[in-house]
Chains A and B, each alone.
Chain A
Amino acid sequence: MRKLLLLSLVLITGIVFAGRLFYLQIYNTSFQQLSENNAIKIIYDYPQRGYVFDRNGKLLVANQPSYDVMVIPRDVEAFDTLEFCNLLKISKVDLKGILKKARVYSPRLPSVVIPQLTKAEYAYLSEKMFKYEGFYIQKRSLRDYQVKHSANVLGYIAEVNPRIIAKNPYYQMGELIGRQGVEQQYEDVLRGVKGVKYIQKDRFNRDIGPFKEGIFDTLPERGKDITLTIDEQLQAYGEKLFVNKRGGIVAIEPATGEILALITAPYYDPGLLVGRDRSRNYTKLYYDSIAKPLYDRGLQGEYPPGSPFKTLTALIGLQEGVIDLKETVSCHGGYVYGRGRKLGCHHHKSPLAMIGGIANSCNAYFCTVYRRSIEKYPTPQEGIDNWEKHLESFGLGHYLGTDLPSGRPGKIPSAALYNKVYNYPERKWYATATISNAIGQGEVLLTPIQMANFTAAIANRGWYYRPHIIKNINLADTIPSIYNEKIQTTIDPENFEPVVQGMNDVYHYGTAAYIRIPDIEICGKTGTAENFTKIDGKRVQLTDHSVFIAFAPKDNPKIAIAVFVENGYWGSRWAGRIAGLMIEKYIKGEITRTDMERYVLEGSLEEEYAKPLSGEPFKINN
């Protein structure tokens, strides 16, 4: 026994040490990360972010240098505090506070004294910096917006948050990333690739040369420039027209699917989100829960489309063969469907065939067509599903696939939805239960960009390209391939001609005759969409939305547009006028209907928007 005590202790010790080493070196990896943190310093070399141009090569977004005054507390020597404070425009107390904080953070590492000086401040300061030992100026790059509009399209850049860092290891704390708009969508293209240098440090945090002679170091790669499809002048004009109004415009070039204008109102100056005041301005925009300037109505607003939807009802009716161009439908102030149920209509001549039906926006006509399209099939379920299939081929009821980070799918009701709502099969439902769909009310919801897109499909007589905002990257034609795929609708080309003619007649003798633009053959369709809000939990109807879709010229169209003016009442009153002006601006480059322009610029809907907030009873549609 006595011989074995020390022997066994030695062996046990050997095993315990082996176990401990296994724990430290293999099992517990947290020690490895700690080491990377304290022995290797990683320095990033940030490349210049890519520029953004409009379709005509006009520069929209560039970069500007910004200058931070930095300090290394340990190197600071006695200096003329008063003069320094005057240069930096801060008080002596503030400077002392900043220096104390910096020293607490680290005496050896740099801290920011004053962030983001302007070029002018920098120029003045840089001459005198030699006097202040321990202080220096560090340059960094910020966005420089060349235009005061299109904030919703361009987006902005901001520091990454911990959530993004957890998801994407490329980013480190304090780095910048694109948020919203093309800055977010084309982040990978615009930012380039940062360069990395590994520096070996010693225990005093001093650099002692490159780690492993720099074999892991990389050079930065400059960000690529992108050209957008938007027309800067059209964009600016659109925002101008929307003064004191809320809503959105989406304009598309039908032949390519390129987005010519994407406007949401209210809007803000993109320059607000740069520099020292960025955070304060952003908070202000973010908390404006009434006007919602950060909400892109053109992409995210889901509205009942109203009468423009009738063009699709007509197309489906023709494709399904349930009506021909000669058959007329009489309208006696509306459409009667079952005992005592009537969907009202406005005054117009009666009876009407298809082209006249579109021009005068007759509800009775389109209810008849819609009902026949559904009832052609043995069950309403099959009818609705077939109807939905046609609409989906126009990009409705699902995300459109636009290269912008925000968007909504809209809503096209399916048979499954109605089965659920009406508790099928216990209770049955029929086409008449869904009759409001015929005229773009009921369960149908569309975003303005979806409306512009189906307008483009009508303009093309049956096909479209997915709407997109990217024209090229670094001037090479390398846009994502899904934007080069032509998408066919389920409607045959010949069925489009009568609908196009009807839309053209809207301008000749229909609902938009008084807002005609000289020398341009426009095809359009007005819409006046009912809408509701909740006040104190009660459903209250508000003044109708003013909606308009149009494309021009009638043959070989250059532009398809959808305009949405919240609570603007008649489709032709606001949306129709704005659409006409936008078309004229784009095609002619100048405005001849200055009377119409004045009407739009001087008109305001602020009073209308204040109504539901006033807390008092109010009248609508006046």
Chain B
Amino acid sequence: MAVGKSNVRFDWLTIFFYLALVGIGWINIYSASLSDSAQGLFDFSQIYARQLLFIILSIVLIIFLLAIDAKFYERFASIIYIISLVSLLGLFVFGNNINGATSWYSFGAFGLQPSEFAKAATALALSKYVSDMQTNMKEFKYQIRTFLIIALPALFIIPQPDPGSALIYAAFVFPLYREGLHFVYLLLGFFAAALFVSTLAFGFPWVAGGVVLIAIFIYLKRRKKRPNLVKYITIAIASIAFAFSVNYIFNNVFEQRHRDRFNIVLGKETDTKGIGYNTNQSEIAIGNGGWLGKGWTQGTQTKGNFVPEQHTDYIFSTVGEEWGFLGSLLVIALFVALIVRVLVLAERQKNQFSRVYGYSVAAIIFVHFFVNVGMVTGLFPTVGIPLPFFSYGGSGLWGFTILLFIFIRLDASNFVHS
């Protein structure tokens, strides 16, 4: 086994960041879930005690992950991916409904959430396919297959329903871009997002008018170069059609709760008692922290349970209230440092499989971090996804641990023969 070899070198800096985040996360979960009925650190009816158990089990998991030969992950990537897909499909039959979502398999008191593990599996499969000698990211045939690899698990997750977790699969655009996907795809995605947001913010008629005006303006400016008029008209019509469909989907396909969430972030509604309650209370709790925070377990908002789901998706608001601006800044810095470190490691990989996988890890952690902290600080609509390594939950913690430590194992193998 590789562990025994003296020339295997794990990246201890990444492991340090991981341990720091998991440790700080647990301290905050302890505070957020503290109640009078607690019987001590190992009273497993308490959330913080269960998280402590999950963390201990993660350590065991890490030892296994690092013990396995690096080759294993590449060789069995497809099989892992298929098992993962099957487990997602199995939910439709055996799944357990918790909080309105059928995302769980139940084992007594504990549950497993396969979507948390599917991220790592998809990352493996994608890395294997993209690094295949035959695959050329510039050809449409391969692009569509790559897209399918990513889209399949997402499609299985959406109807659970868990659109938030499905959204994460958009993160794979980053490794693909790194491997040669044309910039136009990213630009298209960005343009579509801008159209989407402005249609909701300003209404369809304004956006349609704006698109026509911009098209005419650019065309007139470039008239001397004799641009293709048909191309401009096509793009303008496509944009307007997109804006119209956004309008239609938003009003007819989306459920009211989704509409509410978007409207609050776009500033169209300020209903602080109803749907905006979460975000508002979270902002109050964070704002309450000041420079140094109220101190561990001293947060009034945290104690009063004003922020819903504070130990899971809203755990960052506890950091904000009890550790203040400086504490929150430290956590932000740790996340940025971890992601940057993974990116730096990914770039130094000798084989493409490891590099694509590394990029996938960085992108997935980044999107979680971006969406979650954005949501908790009121910059992004409410999308129920956890903060990696931080939020309460065994599946989530194990999923991210597996995701990260497979990469640490792959990275270590670079040195085996050198």
Question: Contact residues of A with B, CB < 8 Å?
Answer: 2-3, 5-7, 9-11, 13-14, 16-18, 20-22, 24-26, 28-32, 34-36, 38-40, 200-203, 208, 211-212
A474 to B161, CA, bound (A): 73
CA distance A21 to B328 in the complex (A): 8
Query: Which chain B residue shows the least CB distance to A201?
Result: B304
Complexed CA–CA distance, A31 and B336 (Å): 27
B284 CB within 8 Å of chain A:
yes
Q: Which residues of B contact A32 (CB under 8 A)?
A: 287-288, 290
Q: How many residues of chain B have a CB within 8 Å of chain A?
A: 46
Q: Are A200 and B300 in contact (CB under 8 A)?
A: yes
Q: Is the CB of A26 within 8 A of B325?
A: yes
Whole-angstrom distance between the Cβ of B33 and the nearest chain A Cβ: 14
Main secondary structure on A side of the interface with B: helix
* Complex CA distance for A18 and B332, rounded to whole angstroms: 8
Chain A nearest CB from B274 CB (Å) reads 14
Once the chains are docked, how many angstroms separate the CA of A297 from the CA of B374?
A: 67
- Provided the pairs A3-B178, A26-B325 are in contact, do residues A13 and B366 lie with their beta carbons within 8 angstroms? yes
Report B360 CB to chain A, min CB distance, Å: 11
Q: A7-B340, A17-B377 are in contact. Are A22 and B325 (CB under 8 A)?
A: yes
Which residues, 352 to 391 on B, are CB-close (under 8 Å) to A? 359, 362-363, 366, 369-370, 373-374, 377-379
B287 touches A28 (CB 8 A): yes
Given A21-B329, A40-B300, answer yes or no on A6-B336 (Cβ-Cβ < 8 Å): no
Name the A residues within 8 Å of B343 (CB-CB): 6-7, 10
Q: Which of A5, A6, A26, A28 has the most CB of B within 10 A?
A: A6
Beyond known contacts A3-B347, A20-B377: 6 more, CB 8 A cutoff: A14-B336, A24-B378, A25-B287, A29-B287, A31-B287, A40-B300
Q: What's the least CB distance linking B269 to chain A, in Å?
A: 18
Q: What is the bound-complex CA distance between A569 and B175, given in angstroms?
A: 106
Indicate whether B54 reaches chain A with its CB closer than 8 angstroms.
Answer: no
B21 to chain A minimum Cβ distance, whole angstroms, is: 14
- Tell me the bound Cα distance from A20 to B265 in angstroms: 14
Contact with A along B287-321 (1 / 0, CB 8 A): 11111000000101101111000000000000010
- Chain B residues 209 to 237 lying within 8 A of chain A, measured CB to CB, are none
Chain B residues with CB below 8 A from A6, complex form: 174, 178, 343, 359, 362-363, 366
The verdict on A35 contacting B332 (CB below 8 Å), with A6-B363, A26-B325 known, is: no
Which residue of B300, B366, B373 contacts A35 across the interface (Cβ within 8 Å)? B300
The closest CB in chain B to the CB of A211 belongs to: B300
The answer to whether A9 touches B288 (Cβ under 8 A) is: no
> Using a Cβ cutoff of 8 Å, how many contacts connect chains A and B?
117
Determine the chain B residues whose CB is within 8 A of the CB of A35 once the complex forms: 284-285, 287-288, 300-301
**With an 8 A cutoff between CB atoms, is B393 at the interface?**
no
With CB as the reference atom, state the residue of chain B lying closest to A38.
B306
Q: Are A203 and B304 in contact (CB under 8 A)?
A: yes
Taking a contact as CB atoms under 8 Å apart, the answer to whether A31 and B288 are in contact is: yes
Whose C-beta in chain B lies nearest to the C-beta of A212?
B298
B286 contacts partner chain A, Cβ-Cβ < 8 Å: yes
Asked whether A25 lies within 8 Å of B289 as measured between CB atoms, the reply is: yes
CA distance A2 to B185 in the complex (A): 13
Residues of B within 8 A of A26 (CB): 290-291, 325
Q: Complex: how many Å from CA A7 to CA B347?
A: 11
Cβ of A2 and Cβ of B177 under 8 Å apart?
yes
Contacts of B359 in A (CB 8 A): 6
Contacts of B370 in A (CB 8 A): 13
B286–A25 CB distance below 8 A? yes
Most buried by A among B287, B362, B370: B287
Partner of B379, one of A20, A25, A38: A20
- In the assembled complex, the CB of A199 is this many whole angstroms from the nearest CB of chain B, namely 11
With A14-B332, A35-B301, A211-B300 known as contacts, the answer to whether A21 contacts B377 (CB < 8 A) is yes
Knowing A6-B363, A31-B287 are in contact, say whether A21-B304 is a contact too (CB < 8 A).
no
CA distance A25 to B288 in the complex (A): 6
Residue among B303, B304, B362 facing the most chain A CB atoms (10 A cut-off) = B304
Contact A25 B324, beta carbon cutoff 8 Å: yes
Residues of A within 8 A of B11 (CB): none
Question: Of the candidates A16, A24, A202, A212, which one forms a contact with B286 in the assembled complex, judged by CB atoms under 8 Å apart?
Answer: A24
Q: How far is the CB of B38 from chain A (nearest CB, A)?
A: 14
A140 to B268, CA, bound (A): 46
| Closest Cβ neighbor of B335 among chain A residues | A14
Within 8 A of A (CB), among B18-39: none
Minimum Cβ distance to chain A for residue B374 (Å): 8
Report chain A residues within 8 Å CB of B288.
31-32, 35
- Greatest chain B CB density within 10 A among A7, A18, A25, A203 is at A25
Complex: chain A residue closest to B379, CB-CB: A20
Nearest 7 A-B pairs (CB), nearest first? Answer: A31-B287, A39-B300, A14-B336, A35-B288, A25-B325, A202-B304, A24-B287
Which residue on A lies nearest to B303, using beta carbons? A200
| Chain A residues, CB < 8 A from B320 | 21, 24-25
Inter-subunit contact A31/B332 (CB<8 Å): no
Q: Which residues on A sit within 8 Å (CB–CB) of B304?
A: 38-39, 200-203, 208
- Asked whether, in the complex, the Cβ of B306 is within 8 Å of the Cβ of A39, the reply is yes
B283 in contact (CB, < 8 A): yes
Contacts of A11 in B (CB 8 A): 336, 340
Within B130-174, which residues are at the interface with A (CB < 8 Å)?
Answer: 174
* A32–B290 CA distance with the chains assembled, in angstroms: 8
Q: How far is the CB of A272 from chain B (nearest CB, A)?
A: 43
Query: Which of A16, A31, A38, A211 lies at the interface centre, i.e. has the most chain B CB atoms within 10 A of its CB?
Result: A31
- 24 CB contacts below 8 A, A to B, read A2-B178, A2-B180, A11-B336, A13-B366, A14-B332, A20-B377, A21-B286, A21-B328, A21-B332, A22-B325, A24-B287, A24-B320, A25-B320, A25-B324, A25-B325, A25-B328, A26-B291, A31-B286, A39-B306, A202-B305, A203-B304, A203-B305, A211-B300, A212-B298
CA distance A203 to B277 in the complex (A): 11
B333 contacts the other chain (Cβ, under 8 Å)? yes
Q: Is the CB of A34 within 8 A of B284?
A: yes
Query: In whole Å, how far is B358's beta carbon from the nearest beta carbon of chain A?
Result: 11
Residues of A within 8 A of B240 (CB): none
In the bound complex, CA of A5 to CA of B320 (Å): 29
